[in-house]
Structure 1
Amino acid sequence: MTQTSNAEAAAWTVLDAASRRAGLDPSGAELMRLGENALFRLPGGIVARVSRPGQLAAAKREVAVARWLGANHVPAVQTWPDIDQPIEVDDRAITWWQELPPHRPGTALTVATALRRLHDLPPPTDFDIGRLDPFVRLAERIDRATTLTEADRAWMRTHLAELKTRYAALPEGLPQTVVHGDAWIGNVVSTNDGKVVLLDLERCSIGPPEWDLTSTAVKAFTLAGITSKDYDIFVRTYGHDVTSWAGFETLRDTREFRMTCMAAQVAAENPARLDEVLLRLACLRGEHGSRPWIWTAVP
């Protein structure tokens, strides 16, 4: 059995145990996606999310954030009612969500609209939403990137330390707000009834709004995934261009490194993706010329 199928089998086992503890029947469930989290569709419009080990605190925060956003009339993925969640099984956190109605992927416009709405909200007062950690889990991902050479992992550890030093010295920017934490176009969708809905709330926290804005700038200028016209629409809709800020390059480099560490984690479970990790590392080291770079998405 491959590492990927091992991970899938473990997620199914956890789903079964957690569902029964929650009073739900997992019969007929289907795997929707196996990535950072495992997503399953259960009959009746329920989506179960099984985390990686050690993510109980993040899952608790995600549930609290979803309920807070709902109370503030901000369209976001909503928890399944009448379940005391998350439930922990084998060090994994399981949460249940209402399946979204028909929807389509986000655009620069919809991301800007959603972020403007989120950043304008006063922080919650009934729970601790926490502080943004742009480097969360990166050291662990490097340690587990066993398909890489030790020399590559040593370079990644050094680069991580350099990024942390640069982040600690960021210049003053916009006032700190509630940020999404992973605000790329895959985490914002438009439903057929016209709502712009936020997904994947596990990294919501207090932090510099520039962190959220940088994701779209990276999409435009690192990956050429959207046009400069799209980026101009994003800037006009939100009302600020993060690329003009003196701290932008630090956040850009950190976001690019997060994407590389995520790919390294995937390659540890699916060695067929190793070439993508090596490409990204080469780009970060300056061996593939200037941006934009052609990176292939990993699950």
Structure 2
Amino acid sequence: MNRKRVESSFALLQEITDAARLSSSGAEPIRLAENDLWKLPGGIVVRIARSGQDEAAAREVAVARWLHESSVPAVRPLEMSQPIRVGGRSATFWEQLPPHRHGSVADLAPLLRMMHSLHIPSFPIGRLDPFVRLVERLQGARSIGTADREWLLQRLRRLRREWDSLPDGLPQCVIHGDAWDGNCAVTDDGPLLLDFERTSVGPPEWDLTSTAVAFDTFGSLSREMYQDYCTSYGFDVMAWSGYSTLRDIRELRLVTFALQIGDQDVKAMHQARHRIDCVRGRCGPRPWRWEAVG
């Protein structure tokens, strides 16, 4: 991790833990990206949201508590008044997971089925906006040429129109919003869900597209594994006529995320340009090989 980045985040963490009457002594960074995650001694994880994400941070805590009350296995927030806002950013506090492994799509599918079956809660949860921050990322990116920027903005406009006229599908429900296997962990007690920053009301197909993209766009999932996932959930989103729109939106989100990181990281910049080449048809048909950034 970048030393200055760590020092800056730790300074904010100290203010946050002081406000929460906790100690930052011995804190260790878990991940510093769009959100900063820190581990405190005593089994506490602090999640520092981006600036302007106060409502999202509060919603994450509410969703996690609601899932627990609804018997859907999920990471648990501490029993305290939260989030805490310091320096223009909101922080939430969570129980550290016991020893665990990363979940697989086979672990994820039953959890999504359970979540999608719940009634919409009484607290404000909002509706899915799959285009959040895309314009800002594209207009603010410095590691992109004018022609590529305009092409991506045109693609964004087209996808907005397609989103507004999606064909009928499964009933709208509470969706995770970022339902890839990295947001599923497996402890000795079984699999559970993590990270509810994007949880909202929307089409369940949005959640299912994450795994479909792993198979279709990147080839990182075998056909057998994908079919097992569909069988476990009970639906194959790739057979739905609106799938290609959701896939293209997912791909565009991943392009713009790499652009955002690429302004500070040369490796990510090269990856962002490669992703643009792929969606523009310069690297042949799917599947494509994209490296992780951030």
User: TM-score interval w.r.t. the shorter chain?
Assistant: over 0.9
Counterpart CA distance in 2 for 1:63 and 1:95 is 7
Counterpart CA distance in 2 for 1:123 and 1:75 is 17
Structure 1 residues 84-125: Cα deviation after superposition (integer angstroms, max 9, x where no partner): 211122221111111011111121211111110100111111
TM superposition shift of 1:6: 4.3
Instruction: Say if 2:228 is the partner of 1:233.
Output: yes
Counterpart CA distance in 1 for 2:194 and 2:70 is 16
Which amino acid in the other structure matches residue 151 of structure 2? W
Question: How high is the TM-score relative to the length of structure 2?
Answer: 0.96
Q: How many residues align?
A: 294
Counterpart CA distance in 1 for 2:229 and 2:200 is 22
Counterpart CA distance in 2 for 1:138 and 1:155 is 13
Select 1:150's aligned residue among 131, 134, 146: 146
Instruction: Say if 2:254 is the partner of 1:289.
Output: no
Structure 1 residues 163-194: Cα deviation after superposition (integer angstroms, max 9, x where no partner): 1111111011110010000000101111123x
Alpha-carbon contact 1:223-1:294 (below 8 Å) kept = yes
Counterpart CA distance in 1 for 2:290 and 2:284 is 13
Which amino acid in the other structure matches residue 180 of structure 1? H
Aligned CA RMSD, in angstroms, stands at 1.4
Select 1:138's aligned residue among 119, 134, 140: 134
**Identity across matched positions, percent:** 47
Instruction: Say if 2:55 is the partner of 1:57.
Output: yes
Select 2:74's aligned residue among 64, 73, 76: 76
Residue in 1 aligned with 2:117?
Answer: 120
Alpha-carbon contact 1:104-1:191 (below 8 Å) kept = yes
Counterpart CA distance in 1 for 2:148 and 2:23 is 45
Which amino acid in the other structure matches residue 224 of structure 1? G
Counterpart CA distance in 2 for 1:240 and 1:280 is 29
Counterpart CA distance in 2 for 1:275 and 1:18 is 35
Matches within 5 A, 1:198-209: 198-209=193-204
Q: Secondary structure at the match of 2:263?
A: helix
TM superposition shift of 1:156: 2.2
Counterpart CA distance in 1 for 2:252 and 2:3 is 27
TM superposition shift of 1:80: 1.5
Tell me, which stretches of 5 or more residues in structure 2 are unaligned? none
Residue in 2 aligned with 1:222?
Answer: 217
Structure 1 residues 242-281: Cα deviation after superposition (integer angstroms, max 9, x where no partner): 0011100000000111111111111122122111001100
Structure 1 residues 227-256: Cα deviation after superposition (integer angstroms, max 9, x where no partner): 000001001000000001110000000011
Residue in 1 aligned with 2:18?
Answer: 20
Residue in 2 aligned with 1:189?
Answer: 185
Alpha-carbon contact 1:147-1:271 (below 8 Å) kept = no
Tell me, which stretches of 5 or more residues in structure 1 are unaligned? none
Question: How high is the TM-score relative to the length of structure 1?
Answer: 0.95
Select 1:35's aligned residue among 33, 36, 42: 33
Alpha-carbon contact 1:144-1:268 (below 8 Å) kept = no
Alpha-carbon contact 1:79-1:96 (below 8 Å) kept = yes
Counterpart CA distance in 2 for 1:298 and 1:242 is 27
Instruction: Say if 2:275 is the partner of 1:280.
Output: yes
Change (3 A) 1:153 1:8: farther
